Structure 1
Amino acid sequence: LCPALNEEIPIRLLYLQVVLGQVCGLATVKQSELRLTDTLDIIEACNGSLPRYPKPARSLATAKRRLGLNVDDFIIKRPICTVCFKFYSLDAISKLDSPNCLVRNCKGKVWVIDKDSAAGRAPAKIHCYVSLRKSLQRFFLRADFVKNFQSMSARARADGPLQDHEYMHDFCDGLAYGRTELGLERLKLADGTVADVQIRRGPTHTLMSVDIGCSMTINVDWFGIIKGRHHSTGGMYITFNNLDRSVRYLQHNVHLAMNIPGPKEPSLEQLNHLIEPLYEEMNELYGGVRLPVHGREEPAALFGAIEMRSCDLPGSRKFEAFAAHGHKHNPCFFCCIEYDEINDAAGYDVENFVLRDEWVQIKAAFASCDARTAKAKKEIFTEFGQRWSKFFELAGWKMSGCAIDYMHNFYRECQVLCRRHNLDASFVVGITKDMFMGMLVDGYLLDKPLWRKLEATVNSIQWPSGIGRLPSNLADHHNFAKADQWRRWVNIQPTILYIVWRDASDHIRSEPPDIPGNASSKPTFLQNLREIYEVFLFASIAERILASKTISMEEVERGHRYLRQCCTEMLRLGVHMVPNHHLAMHYPDIFRLLGPVYAWWLYAHERFNGMQEKVPHNGKANGEMELTLTRWWVLRQRLLELLASFPADSNPKEHALITRILSENKRAAGTLRAHLGTTGTSLMVPRRIKKATNLRALPHKNIYPLLLDFLHTVYPNLSIANEMNLDPSCITFSSRQSVKIFPMVVNEGTRFGSVMDKHSSAD
């Protein structure tokens, strides 16, 4: 991993200081190279000569390469057409007579004149791809990754799947985990049907039965990277379900396959060109590859498959090449309802849903691929809502592996999605936000005094400092900006609305406030506050049950019954329903396949987008900005791998340099040092706590005996006694001098405040 380990310690230490000064600090490339050459001259003057082999590096690029930090070695820059995104090799570009794309009716360009290039040509647009196989090679050489990578065969249950009363803790408890059959090939048969056919003799194996079976989740989402003008970049992330959930979404354990170049989201046809290298590698991993693994003397066979796709609603429709959620005849890729039935009882009659046949949809996708005319493709799309995606050629790829993201579905929609796809906001609005905006705000169920009362009640809540707050100006601005805020609101909405709507006898009154005379539109649903309050109560109960870290199928069914009751009551009241209401009716099937929501909702992936949005770049289009973001992501991973690769017997000064970087103050939020600090230490506490705490003076009277019992458990070989003990051979646990209270701790980058801290009203 690090060729510099073969060089002398002073040279290696110099590489570290110079490269980390440029990567983590403020040094420019020129300043770093001057420091590198000047220090080498000093070493030569002191020792009389420099090492002859390997010859010390005098450029920053060479020093990075020696340390394994030359990230371009891990990024494939693929030239593509500026319009259709078709791939052209550099050799093909050099042979083209014209810069025009060869695809029929495409007006894109393939190359531009570049006087600085030896060939005189440069790609007009580039697409950056990070090899999944090379990333897996790096990951499996890390001791921490291998330690946290849980073998599927070791987790296989001898007594079969979990029973309905047993709790699911992660994706590994779902039916989809490790069930991918190996040794198959997807073929189109003579009659037009499609099937996964066994191509190897012998018994059928699954990811669960092989030595190293790698279950993966893929996500794609678009985000803006330029302020002031529209430019959407799409991050495609792959996470590894074998990892424990506590470390699965750490940035150094997540593979960034590509940043899809903007400025607009690609069409499905363009996306099919971009995913070709990933498709080829997934086919290769499905057949098995041999990789070196930390702790093993010989390379091991690794099999891998994408067992889950977790995206927002528009992203999932692109992965499945399915119609948009506003399609008249095919709004749902699980069942065969019509769009009009979303506002009808048939859209919530779960027992009578006509579910789609996955193989019929796959057959329609292959037929769409083979269709010669646009008219034939349109007929298939109208009937089945299906188009072609390259991923349909992967054995085992079925629509049941696509999750309905709970975060976007239940809490809120993304307004950027509405603008991006030119959709009415109601098309992708989340259930909680639809109830808040469509009923409370647009239904005028709160007048100005009631909004003031709601604001005062919300602002009086004492929140734990480890979670986010709600806005303090709800009386004037009736909205929440983030999904996490909608989540907090749905937790407290029954209590808040009860306080706001109750009368003098502590009962919810039936009559709503008067509708303002200047109202732009009057509500059309039945405005009975008692019945509306029950709807909000049902939604909160359902969310409280379904959004649990661990859950059984019995609890899923119970929470789903409350959610169905919420939807049917909204229908009865005449409230307008949105696609997310119907999609939530398929929750039980998704939970059974994929486990609890913590295994597949998109909070972590939204955080990845936020991290990339903050990366400085040069503002150049045609893939240059996406290349900068991809380099930044890989560099963060490579730097952490470098720090972990140093042997235990390396020079103490190298360890001191690494320790200094890891223990750097985290106030420089968003920098590489902050990331390394949060990943290098699992728990951080304040540096200085001057005064000890009197445990007897705390309002919690049982703290002292509880801590004493804890010490007896942790140190069973020590004789620890309370302060009333007179035996001199015992260690006295003083209630006044033994304990200090931390105002906060930071665990894995998340700050948790103490209820005893009085420095801030936020704690």
Structure 2
Amino acid sequence: MEREDGLDQDRNQDEELPDWEPDANWLDHPELQEDEVDLLERIRELDQQDPIDDDEDGYDEDFGLPNGGNEDPPVRDIPEFQMPVEDPPEPEDPPGDIDIAEYCAAFREHELLRNSYVDALLQKLRYGATHSAIAHQLRASKRTISAHPDVPREDLENMAQTIRTVERRLGVSTDDIIKTYTLCPKCGRRYSPEYIKDSDSADCLNNDCNGILYVSRLLNSGSRRVSNRTFPTASPIAWIQHMLRLPGISELVQSQQEEDGADEHTEPISFDEWMEHRDPNAPLNDIREGWGWDAEEAGLERDEDPHTGVVRDQIRIGQPHRFSSLPFPVSLTMSTDWFQPTKEGNYSVGACYLVFNNLPRHLRFLRENICLAIVMPGPGEPNSYALEQIMEPLVEELLLLRQGVRMTIREGDPAVYREQYVHAHLTQHIADLIARIKMGGGAGLRSERNFCLYSHTHLSSLSVPDGFIRANFQFRDPEEEVSNAYFWKSLETAEDRKIFFDFTGNRYTALHALPGWYTSTCSPVDAMHLLYQGGMHWIVKQILYAPGMLNKCRQEDDDPIERYNTCLDQMWIPNNFSRRPPKLGQTNTRVKADQWKLTSRVIMIPLYMAFRRGDDIPNDLVPRGTQSSTGGKQQARRAKLLHRERQKHYNAIGQPNRCPPLEQCFSTRSLRFHYQQVLRFSLATGIIDKRAVSTERIGFAVGMLETVAVNYVRNSVPVSPNFHYMMHFEEFILKFGSVYNFHVWAMERANGIISHINHNGRSNGMMEGTLMRGWWGYTTLRNLIDAYRAIRDPSPTDTVMIEDLLGALRSGTDHAQQQQTLMAYIAQCHTTYTRLHGIQEKIRLSTQSKVIDLRKDNLYETVLNFCVEKWPRAGIFGAGMPQRIYLPPKGFVRHYSYVEHDGIRYGGFYHTSGKGYCYGYIDGRQAVRIDRVLYIEFPGRPRLRGICVLVRHFRRPPVEPRFPWNTWANHLGISSWLHDELEPITAISANRLSGVFALFNIPRSDGRYWVTVALDSVSPEEDEEV
């Protein structure tokens, strides 16, 4: 076993180790060439190993640090949209087939009719009016409008008289989208609403199930059947039809296809062919730039050979045909997650979302463009059978979309509707690891043979370098995995299914029915949970804090934990980053993923302050402590667990004598080793988690993560399975583009939005139905607002209608703003979206301002020179320099607290509300202090107005100080500056602002320095090669 130099002297020779009996029951794998009976018998024999005891897993300790478990839905700054809490709607006219002429017909009717429809809709959404009350209001409006001479008689006669018709006329109806199924409360079998309506018995049809599907209630209008458990679904066909009827969507889809240069006779591309023509330095950004976009094949059907059981995707259209070159191809991403929609109790619901991959990324993850396809009922997660039943309606429609569905699409302005066959296929499933395993039929993280969805790596091999060396991975065969899933489904008994599943790690799910779908290639890893809640959380909590790596090396040293926490306390970051990195020793709080992400960006600074002695990190070994200490117990326990896993590994490969003894399973205590590991991890995550990254750089970053993991296990530092999953980043980035195409940030945000929808709290599907209607009510209402804004020459009444509709969104914001998390790309999405639609300018000033006297503040010459340089032909002059336009010292310039540029806020140092945002970058990574944000306007001259930002540059030291991160400083976004030394004031335009940073104050023997760490997650950046 390779060991770090000097590691032997790292151990406490006097430490006594408790008795330990290794567990080593391992047999070689058999070949899968036996008949079914022999195969199952062989698997039974192999399944006789002891399971891992929960108490010996070692992955769940908190050790005084906050819990870093699954991300809870965001609870702050989420626009709250409320649906009226009511019983199911009263019966009224059935929707029947929706006439395309009626859809959004209100915008072709008279303005008075349209506005009366909006008033009726607002009565329902804001005030909870009943259907009868709304019908009366519509009749009253019709009587009033009939006296108006300008309203055409035909329009008046056809005026909507029910809320359902109103919703269709306004384009906000969800009748053709949402369908509610009944689920057996015992076994989870699904029943259609038609079956419940016509059924003669309330008993479940499954054998040995005594579930009752519904109860009958007597009402004044007759009896009514109420299901005991339901779940709502939204039709993906109806959603795509809805999207393609919206202004501009079909043009966006087709324009993206034209940019790809689609050819109707193009064949699918292979990975090797894609790599051959790919510039290794060209950044991968959108999903269309990955090799998977043009590799998908059209016309596939999934067939199972009845004789061999082999499952293959067969072409039904003759020659191979690239899916992306079809006349109207739609690529979909699915995301699933389970979360608690209420703060009280223990009630968990599941959400399944769909998004258009054809849309540009800044539009793809906007709420109004996301389909909430299923809300899975609580109180707990469904078993595999119930999950299959819940997913089948969605999968059946996806199969129809794969073959092509004729739809009506909208094009042009004014709108022209035409019929078009639309093909759609599911490209990827994004979710956290547990949801990917559940939806893909995987075995789980405790499975020795099948913990990994993508390779056949054994869990025990994570105790040695083999578990992380990518060149040695045996990747799973997608077609073999699908055949295994279908074979599992064909087994008749639960016992046989369990045995086969435990051996292969494959279980059939509804998604396996989709041609082209493979769990191992269509379920990309999740950067948020792997890098931050997985990797960074593990390094801080399990590697540094729990084993006592932050203990004193010498009795006279300052407490490293106190120095670490003090450094974080003194760190300056913009005020909108309200959730700071967790401090060591915190308890009883949950740490969010964005806090771990921020930690990964800045940890090298407080860790340097904790480890340093003088100006450098010494080449010291941290004492292990006593046996009774928390750190000492943790080290001994981890050494035993690591030794056990290594015994399993070496027994499995038939080399038990190579297993190192227990005393060599204690982790290294070298300060420099652990600091270098943290630097490597931060460097790799900073490269991977970008909106654009080249193929060469992603290979370097994953190689760096491999080095981190291999170095840890070679030095007997145990790591979690998350570190193995990180080795699979490269294949998915090459296939789907940057991680922002399969990030779960947006879907976590969607969970938070759902949890804020007002509901009655009732279970058995009633709350789930309310959540579904609330989501689609908001989405369709948002589209209605956009339709009003698209009216040419809107009247004052139209403007009032927009304000009333915005009020119905219940505190919904109508402009981009950067939240207090690191989800900067969300802010970028909103900013770009609003710019495209003319809702908000790229630069936005605060609402607070005042007129200033430039001479009094000694700013006149600076502002005057700025004006002369910005408008050189205007002839602007000051005192004693008569030209054409005079700039007076007072009256033309206002002082604002902040300016927002590309969704990032920059504030003025000399303004109370702006001081928390007063540092930032300009022109790349030149650090500045922002003194003031000014707005200059020459009255009567609309072209002579603009924003002037007064900044003072940080000063660079004449000799760069020697910090341990200097080698990688540029790639880590770290720069050193003279402490509290600033250049004279400079006036710049706001468009030169380029990002924000965290600011640290670092004292050294050769002086005091400011150190900045870039937090510019909003804009893509390509660092120089390492």
TM-score of the two chains, using structure 1 as the length reference: 0.87
2:385 aligned to 253, 269, 290, which one? 269
Residue range with higher mean Cα deviation, 498-507 or 590-599: 498-507
- Cα distance change on mapping 1:206 and 1:37 into 2, 3 Å: closer
Secondary structure at the aligned position of 1:354 is classed as: coil
Partner residue, 1:752: 905
CA deviation after TM superposition for structure 1 residue 78, in Å: 1.5
Partner residue, 2:336: 220
Correspondence list, 1:679-694, <5 A: 681-683=839-841, 685-691=845-851
CA deviation after TM superposition for structure 1 residue 35, in Å: 9.2
Q: Is the 8 A contact 2:121 2:167 kept in 1?
A: yes
Partner Cα distance (1:691, 1:32) in 2: 52
Measured against aligned partners, the alpha-carbon deviations of 1:405-455 in whole angstroms (never above 9, x if no partner) come to 01011110xxxxxxxxxxxxxxxxx01101111023212233594333222
Partner residue, 2:762: 620
Correspondence list, 1:210-609, <5 A: 210-295=326-411, 297-398=417-518, 399-412=520-533, 430-446=534-550, 449-465=559-575, 467-470=577-580, 474-477=584-587, 481-508=591-618, 510-512=620-622, 515=625, 519=630, 521-524=633-636, 525-609=667-751
Secondary structure at the aligned position of 2:474 is classed as: coil
CA deviation after TM superposition for structure 1 residue 579, in Å: 1.0
1:204 aligned to 320, 329, 349, which one? 320
Q: Which amino acid aligns with 1:526?
A: T
Secondary structure at the aligned position of 1:293 is classed as: strand
Partner Cα distance (1:65, 1:548) in 2: 42
Q: Confirm whether residue 13 of structure 1 aligns to residue 123 of structure 2.
A: no
1:164 aligned to 272, 280, 298, which one? 280
The CA RMSD over aligned residues, in Å, is 3.7
CA deviation after TM superposition for structure 1 residue 328, in Å: 1.6
CA deviation after TM superposition for structure 1 residue 330, in Å: 0.5
Secondary structure at the aligned position of 2:498 is classed as: helix
Secondary structure at the aligned position of 2:337 is classed as: strand
Q: Is the 8 A contact 1:113 1:120 kept in 2?
A: yes
Residue range with higher mean Cα deviation, 316-325 or 649-658: 649-658
Partner Cα distance (1:270, 1:661) in 2: 42
CA deviation after TM superposition for structure 1 residue 306, in Å: 1.0
Partner residue, 1:762: 916
- Cα distance change on mapping 1:480 and 1:59 into 2, 3 Å: same
Partner residue, 1:633: 775
Q: Which amino acid aligns with 2:635?
A: P
Identity over aligned pairs, percent? 23
Q: Is the 8 A contact 1:236 1:256 kept in 2?
A: yes
* The structure with more helix, counted as a fraction of residues: 1
CA deviation after TM superposition for structure 1 residue 397, in Å: 0.8
1:89 aligned to 175, 189, 192, which one? 192
1:655 aligned to 793, 798, 804, which one? 798
Residue range with higher mean Cα deviation, 59-68 or 119-128: 59-68
Secondary structure at the aligned position of 1:648 is classed as: coil
Residue range with higher mean Cα deviation, 43-52 or 490-499: 43-52
Partner Cα distance (1:78, 1:391) in 2: 19
Residue range with higher mean Cα deviation, 515-524 or 30-39: 30-39
Partner residue, 2:183: 80
CA deviation after TM superposition for structure 1 residue 631, in Å: 0.6
Partner Cα distance (1:326, 1:552) in 2: 35
Q: Is the 8 A contact 1:7 1:54 kept in 2?
A: no
CA deviation after TM superposition for structure 1 residue 59, in Å: 5.9
- Cα distance change on mapping 1:192 and 1:729 into 2, 3 Å: farther
Instruction: Identify unmatched segments of 5+ residues in structure 2.
Output: 1-102, 264-272, 552-557, 637-666, 818-829, 918-1026
Partner residue, 1:151: 256
Q: Is the 8 A contact 2:123 2:134 kept in 1?
A: no
Instruction: Identify unmatched segments of 5+ residues in structure 1.
Output: 413-429, 713-718
Partner residue, 2:824: none
Residue range with higher mean Cα deviation, 393-402 or 473-482: 473-482
Partner residue, 2:936: none
Q: Is the 8 A contact 2:864 2:887 kept in 1?
A: no
Secondary structure at the aligned position of 1:542 is classed as: helix
Measured against aligned partners, the alpha-carbon deviations of 1:515-546 in whole angstroms (never above 9, x if no partner) come to 48652833242222221111111111111111
Partner residue, 1:423: none
Measured against aligned partners, the alpha-carbon deviations of 1:465-491 in whole angstroms (never above 9, x if no partner) come to 454531586554497621111000011
Secondary structure at the aligned position of 2:850 is classed as: coil
- Cα distance change on mapping 1:266 and 1:724 into 2, 3 Å: same
Correspondence list, 1:105-184, <5 A: 105-116=208-219, 118=222, 120-149=224-253, 150-156=255-261, 160=274, 161-184=277-300
Q: Is the 8 A contact 2:465 2:714 kept in 1?
A: no
Measured against aligned partners, the alpha-carbon deviations of 1:358-405 in whole angstroms (never above 9, x if no partner) come to 111111011111112223322321221001012212111122111010
Partner Cα distance (1:464, 1:307) in 2: 38
Q: Which has the larger radius of gyration?
A: 2
- Cα distance change on mapping 1:409 and 1:673 into 2, 3 Å: closer
- Cα distance change on mapping 1:697 and 1:182 into 2, 3 Å: farther
- Cα distance change on mapping 1:27 and 1:335 into 2, 3 Å: closer
Q: Is the 8 A contact 2:217 2:226 kept in 1?
A: yes
- Cα distance change on mapping 1:735 and 1:465 into 2, 3 Å: farther
Partner Cα distance (1:662, 1:708) in 2: 45
Q: Is the 8 A contact 1:463 1:469 kept in 2?
A: no
Residue range with higher mean Cα deviation, 135-144 or 362-371: 135-144
CA deviation after TM superposition for structure 1 residue 699, in Å: 10
Measured against aligned partners, the alpha-carbon deviations of 1:244-277 in whole angstroms (never above 9, x if no partner) come to 1111110011111111111111122211111112
Q: Is the 8 A contact 1:611 1:670 kept in 2?
A: no
CA deviation after TM superposition for structure 1 residue 104, in Å: 2.0
Partner Cα distance (2:187, 2:698) in 1: 44
* The structure with more strand, counted as a fraction of residues: 2
TM-score of the two chains, using structure 2 as the length reference: 0.66
- Cα distance change on mapping 1:55 and 1:550 into 2, 3 Å: closer
Q: Which amino acid aligns with 1:641?
A: N
Secondary structure at the aligned position of 2:325 is classed as: coil
Secondary structure at the aligned position of 2:764 is classed as: coil
Secondary structure at the aligned position of 1:584 is classed as: helix
